[in-house]
Amino acid sequence: MYVAVKGGERAIDNAHRLLAHERRGDSSVPELSLEQIQQQLTLAVDRVMNEGSLYDQELAALAIKQARGDLIEAIFLLRAFRATLPQFGATEPIDTGEMAVGRRISATFKDLPGGQVLGPTFDYTHRLLEFPGEAALQSTALASAPTTGEIMPRATDLLAGADLIEASPKAGEHDRVNDLTQDPLTFPAERDLRLQNLARGDEGFLLALGYSTQRGYGRNHPFAGEIRLGEVEVEFVPEEIGFAVPLGRITVTECQMVNQFRGSATEPPRFTRGYGLGFGHCERKAMAMALVDRALRARELGEEITAPAQEEEFVLSHSDNVQATGFVEHLKLPHYVDFQAELGLIRRLRAEFDEAASATGRAREAAE
Amino acid sequence: MSAPAYNFAYLDEQTKRMIRRAILKAVAIPGYQVPFASREMPMPYGWGTGGVQVTASVLGRDDVLKVIDQGADDTTNAVSIRKFFEKTAGVRTTSSTREATIIQTRHRIPEAPLAEHQILVFQVPIPEPLRFLEPRETETRRMHALAEYGLMHVKLYEDIARHGHIATTYAYPVKVDGRYVMDPSPTPKFDNPKMNDCPALQLFGAGREKRIYAIPPFTCVASLDFDDHPFERYRADETCALCGADDGFLDEIITDDRGGRMFVCSDTDYCEDQRRRVRGPQAASATADRP
């Protein structure tokens, strides 16, 4: 028999070769290009950029290809790459009010300045498989509507104007935004760190938690005040120049939830906010994030903490899928030293148990 | 998209400086868990990222590195981590405990005694010894601050009441320098006494949990116990089938489906050393394929 003392090194090399082979698949089928992934699997690219915390479509496409389509693995690749990049500083806050909007809907108003813009959405499609050759998948000429050039204020700003919703918190001139990637998360966490954590958090995890609040575990009566998708300008102030210069444009999805109002003896009742923002087109993620953000404001708003989605340590410590997958999958690593120690104890306990049982048996026989 | 050039031992110098600061603090407060800004490493969380970051931060060009997992140099993850440092730092590696200046380990402390010029780096999955008694970080931090360790003693006592023994066989909690209760990482409790008064510096890195802690050389490390139930080491009552050692921790290997099994040293370097000593240098190489 083979005692597995040597051979790890060769086994790893061979496994890597086999992985590369499997990744390529049947070599008679043309290889996927990064452009194809970037152009045709855009939502996968967006998710990887979001949870990978790096806005780079080309690298995200590369990661998806290298990961054989396993998005968590792709996110991991992107994160590990990101961790090696130098940091120049933080950009100016983006202004989603100035967004070049591609989609904007509000569930709280039938119509509002700027109108409802459906944009590219699965929402009202029938989920029927469209087999090759059928018309729907073919690219067709785009419909167009006259642009009014109307400004598109955020729906929540309209409520804020009438003081019906709490004000959006304003940062002070010299407030430093904490950075989750530069300092370890400590509890209790401020909202800036929480939103960073949620923006990087696993979409499925946030979806389930957001859903749980809707089903009564920390219910917070949400309305989708507004969801908007589009391009915003990113600006940076280099110290040498002293004024903001544009770095480029990024696509983001923003969700502003409008939640249950509260008031007190001194404060009039107002709606409260939950906030979600992510790179690219990521509506499900942004909405779930907004629900969870609002649930996690329980402490700040003096609400009773009764449900998992309101438990800050529980949510923020388990949202990261790169951490989660690593630790769950590390169970594949050998644990035989610890198992051996457990085996020794259980054998000893069993021996004592059997001894005690036979002693009882002897005692009974003697009594009879 | 040109290939990026990585720094010596992968991490950039800024990150290394941050980690070294955390290590210095950890050494200054033995057994205290210092939070640090753990980075994403190119291997998964839970696979040694904390240990790798600590090693990368203390590694110099003249260091000789040994990496073990379950006591062995040739387990897959140990190979992978050793290769990582061969590639990113180009340092000399070894499987000899004596020859190494830095030893990164998962789940074991080498059998051969360590010396003053050595650093032992542990990979730690859950640094908080109180975590399974109290899941909240805010609470456990307070408990450590007040040295409020009653809950841990109650747990150990309940084990004795239920099983007649303390049912913790690995990651057995210790008290460092009479102050902080510390998780020694999932080493079998057989290894606990080796931490006490050890001449080498012992560093513990938990990447996913973002904590570093340390035992400075020659520090008192006591396994928690009771006067009437003193701490007991455990090892299988067997000798190694390869080298005949009767003092090292043994792995049990199932040899057939009829209950056949053999015991071999978990520390492969120690095992080879024993064989070299007993049968001369040739015997040591015949490790792998055994009938």
Strand partners for A257: A224, A274
Q: Which residues of A touch B106 (CB under 8 A)?
A: 333
Q: Supply the residues of B annotated as catalytic.
A: 31, 240, 243, 265, 271
B95 touches chain A (CB under 8 A): no
Distances (CA, A) of B101 to A145, B9, B109, B131, B269: 71, 16, 14, 32, 15
CB B107 to CB A183 under 8 A? Answer: no
Whether A2 sits inside 8 A of B289 (CB atoms) is yes
φ and ψ at residue B264, rounded to 5 degrees? -135, 160
- Give the residue-averaged pLDDT of B29-52: 94
What pLDDT, in 10s, does the model give residues B140-191? Answer: 999 999 999 999 999 999 989 988 888 899 999 999 999 999 999 999 999 9
How many DSSP H helices and E strands does chain B contain?
A: 8, 12
Q: Do A329 and B46 touch (CB under 8 A)?
A: yes
- Rounded to an integer, what distance in angstroms lies between the CA atom of residue B69 and that of residue B269? 12
The residue type of A328 is: V
The predicted pLDDT at position A3 comes to: 44
Give the other-Cβ count within 10 Å of B110's Cβ.
24
Q: Does A295 or A88 have the greater pLDDT score? A: A295
Enumerate residues 296 to 355 of chain A having a beta carbon within 8 A of any beta carbon in chain B: 313-314, 317, 322-323, 325-330, 333-338, 340-345, 348-349, 352
Helix (H) or strand (E) holding B93: strand B92-93
Residue B64 CA to residue B71 CA, distance in Å, equals 18
The predicted pLDDT at position A2 comes to 41
Chain A residues touching residue B135 (CB < 8 angstroms): 313-314
DSSP label at residue A135: G
Query: In degrees, to the nearest 5, what angle opens at C-alpha B46 toward C-alphas B43 and B51?
Result: 75
For B261-282, letters b (16+ CB in 10 Å) and e give: ebbbbbbbbbbbbbbeeeeeee
Q: List beta partners, residue B188.
A: B170
Give the pLDDT confidence of A14-39 residue by residue, as tens digits: 999 999 999 999 999 999 999 999 99
Among B39, B44, B163, the residue with its CB nearest the CB of A329 is B44
Q: Scanning the structure block, which residue is given the tokens 């897959």?
A: B76
Residue A130 confidence (pLDDT): 85
CA distance B240 to chain A (A): 13
> Cα(A337)–Cα(B194) distance, rounded to whole angstroms?
16
At residue B238, the pLDDT reads: 92
Q: CB A344 to CB B189 under 8 A? A: no
- Average pLDDT in the B1-27 region? 87
Q: Is the separation of the CB atoms in B287 and B268 below 8 Å?
A: yes
Rounded to an integer, what distance in angstroms lies between the CA atom of residue B274 and that of residue B24? 37
DSSP output for A93-104: PP-GGG-EEEEE
Cα nearest neighbour of A57 on chain B: B1
Contact map slice: B 260-279 vs A, CB within 8 A: 264, 266, 268
Task: Out of A314, A323, A338, name the one closest to residue B208 (CB).
Answer: A323
Residues 172-201 of B with CB under 8 A from A: 186-190
Q: Does A26 touch chain B (CB under 8 A)?
A: no
Q: Considering only alpha carbons, which residue of chain A is nearest residue B188?
A: A338
Q: What is the pTM of this model?
A: 0.86
Q: How far does B213 lie from chain A, in Å, by closest CA?
A: 15
Cα dihedral A255→A258→A262→A266 (10° resolution): 80
User: B-chain residues within 8 Å CB-CB of A329?
Assistant: 44, 46
Average pLDDT over residues A335-358: 90
Q: What is the pLDDT of residue B63?
A: 97
Calculate how close chain A gets to B211, using CA atoms only, in Å.
9
| 212-231 in chain B: CB under 8 A from chain A | none
- Give buried/exposed letters for A172-192 (b at 16+ CB in 10 A, else e): eeeeeeeebeeeebeeebeeb
User: Are B208 and B131 a contacting pair, CB within 8 Å?
Assistant: no
Q: Check: CB of residue B181 under 8 Å from CB of residue B30.
A: no
- Percent of all residues in chain B with a pLDDT value above 90, rounded to a whole number: 79
CA–CA distance from A199 to each of A176, A209, A264, A306 (Å)?
19, 14, 32, 24
Over range A80-93, report the average pLDDT: 89
Residue A110, token pair as written in the block? 């039938």
Cα(A314)–Cα(A299) distance, integer angstroms: 14
Do residues B134 and B150 touch, judged by C-beta distance below 8 A? no
Q: Is the pLDDT score of A269 beyond 90? A: no
Q: For chain B, give the mean pLDDT.
A: 92
Which of chain B's residues have a Cβ under 8 Å away from the Cβ of A84? 4, 6, 10, 12
State residue A267's pLDDT score. Answer: 77
Q: What ipTM does this complex have?
A: 0.77
Mean pLDDT of A180-205: 93
Instruction: Using an 8 Å CB-CB cutoff, list chain A residues near B162.
Output: none
In B, minimum Cα distance to A332 occurs at: B47
Interface of A with B in 166-225 (CB under 8 A): 181-188
Q: What angle do CA B161, B162, B164 make, to 5 degrees?
A: 70
pLDDT attached to residue B1: 46
pLDDT tens string B97-139? 999 999 999 999 999 999 999 999 999 999 999 998 998 999 9
Which residues on adjacent β-strands are paired with residue B214?
A: B203
pLDDT of residue B165: 87
CA of A70 vs chain B CAs: smallest distance (Å): 15
DSSP state of A288: H
B41/A2 touch (CB, cutoff 8 Å), yes or no: no
The pLDDT value recorded for residue A36 is 97
Phi, psi of B249 (to 5 degrees): -75, 135
**Which residue is listed with tokens 């290009």?**
A33
Closest-CA residue of chain B to A79: B40
pLDDT of residue A126: 83
pLDDT winner (highest mean) among A63-67, A217-221, B256-260: A63-67
Is the minimum CB–CB distance between B49 and chain A shorter than 8 Å? yes
Query: Strand, helix or coil at A232?
Result: strand
User: Nearest CA to A275 among A259, A288, A293?
Assistant: A293
Give the residue ranges of DSSP H helices in chain B. Answer: 13-28, 49-58, 76-88, 137-145, 150-163, 192-195, 268-279, 281-285
Contacts across the A-B interface (CB distance below 8 Å): 166
Answer for the pair B31, B212: CB distance below 8 angstroms, yes or no.
Answer: no
